[in-house]
Amino acid sequence: MIVDCHTHVGEEQHLSKDFVKDARTVSGNPNQTLAVDLKEHLKAMEPVDRAIVLGFRAHHVGYVVPNEYVANYVRQHEKLVGFASIDPHDEDAVEQLDYCVKDLGLKGLKLGPIYQNMHPSDPRFIRLFQRAEQLDIPILIHQGTTFCRDVSLEFANPVLLQPIARAFPDLRMIIAHLGHPWIGETISLIRKHPNLYSDLSALYYRPWQYYNALVLAKEYGVLHKLFLGSDYPVTTPQQSIDGLRNLNAPAAGTSLPTLSSDEIEAIINRDTFGILGLS
Ligand SMILES: [Zn+2]
């Protein structure tokens, strides 16, 4: 079974002008759009058996997708599972999470301290980590850098998740994008915490970083904790699978270390839903 654990939906009205402008500036693509047509999302998911569709609520950067929108979409397609997103600045954040899980049927929580402009150890975040552990739902957390201009990198390092992993040992957390560019930090964290994982979304198009990241993950013995993801619409699952299969390209013609095709296929076919308790 192939799972894409990291996909986004959201229409133009859910995205602020600044968010789109910063994405276009940093990517160098003046036409980059992050708005998603749901028909195209579904079509892009054809190569995978299951996919996680993430909510996104970060008022600070102006990217706010209603949780109902995500729930409505995933309800119509058996292969999709939806994750709520909650902005920790909202006073009723815990009640919102309860509503998303119990009433909307969402199965996990997406957080992004850098986008939400809050330190992950802030008590307003801690109450969400605690509630997610009580509800027994996994969290996908963007702990890594981003293109947005008006954000604080000091909220973004994956090492900041260490006190949370220690305080909530039963909480299952996926660190998005291997915590780029702090990949070594992410690998140290997921090695020592049994319930911490990471996804490989939106990395393959930096082939040298990607190759080094996965060789490092192999040397530290954490390949079994890595999940396939696309970060759709940033990339598609097919591009991500192809990118992973092409991982060893920078080592071609050298004696540099590589991943075996068995190791690569094991990541692609990982039982992500089983590990996260979603099946
Ligand atoms: Zn993402």
pLDDT in tens, 258-279: 999 999 999 999 999 999 999 7
Nearest-5° angle of CA 57, CA 61, CA 67?
A: 15
- Using DSSP's 3-state secondary structure scheme, residue 19 falls into helix
d(CA 169, ligand 1 centre) in Å: 24
* Residues contacting residue 235 through CB under 8 Å, at least 6 positions apart: 201, 202, 204, 205, 243
**Under CATH, which number does the domain 3-274 receive?**
3.20.20.140
d(CA 205, ligand 1 centre) in Å: 15
d(CA 53, ligand 1 centre) in Å: 10
Region 95-113: what's the mean pLDDT?
Answer: 98
d(CA 110, ligand 1 centre) in Å: 9
Q: What is the pLDDT of residue 30?
A: 86
* 141 bridge partner residues: 111, 175
Q: What is the pLDDT of residue 45?
A: 98
pLDDT tens figures, 35-71? 999 999 999 999 999 999 999 999 999 999 999 999 9
Region 236-260: what's the mean pLDDT?
Answer: 98
d(CA 146, ligand 1 centre) in Å: 10
Q: What is the pLDDT of residue 27?
A: 85
* 82 bridge partner residues: 53
d(CA 23, ligand 1 centre) in Å: 13
Q: Whole-prediction pTM value?
A: 0.96
* 80 bridge partner residues: 51
Alpha-carbon distance of 23 to 10, in angstroms, equals: 15
Domain boundaries, the chain: 3-274
Q: Rounded to whole angstroms, what are the CA distances from 131 to 16, 105, 138, 179, 196? A: 29, 16, 11, 23, 17
Query: What is the secondary structure of 71-101 as a DSSP string?
Result: HHHHHT-TTEEEEEE--TTSTTHHHHHHHHH
Alpha-carbon distance of 49 to 273, in angstroms, equals: 11
* Residues contacting residue 229 through CB under 8 Å, at least 6 positions apart: 4, 5, 6, 7, 176, 199, 200, 201, 202, 240
Tokens representing residue 58 in the block = 């970060």
d(CA 253, ligand 1 centre) in Å: 34
Region 199-210: what's the mean pLDDT?
Answer: 97
Alpha-carbon distance of 9 to 159, in angstroms, equals: 28
Region 99-119: what's the mean pLDDT?
Answer: 98
Q: What is the pLDDT of residue 33?
A: 80
d(CA 141, ligand 1 centre) in Å: 9
Percent helix, percent strand, percent coil in the chain, to nearest 5: 45, 15, 40
**Mean pLDDT for all residues in the chain:** 96
Region 119-141: what's the mean pLDDT?
Answer: 98
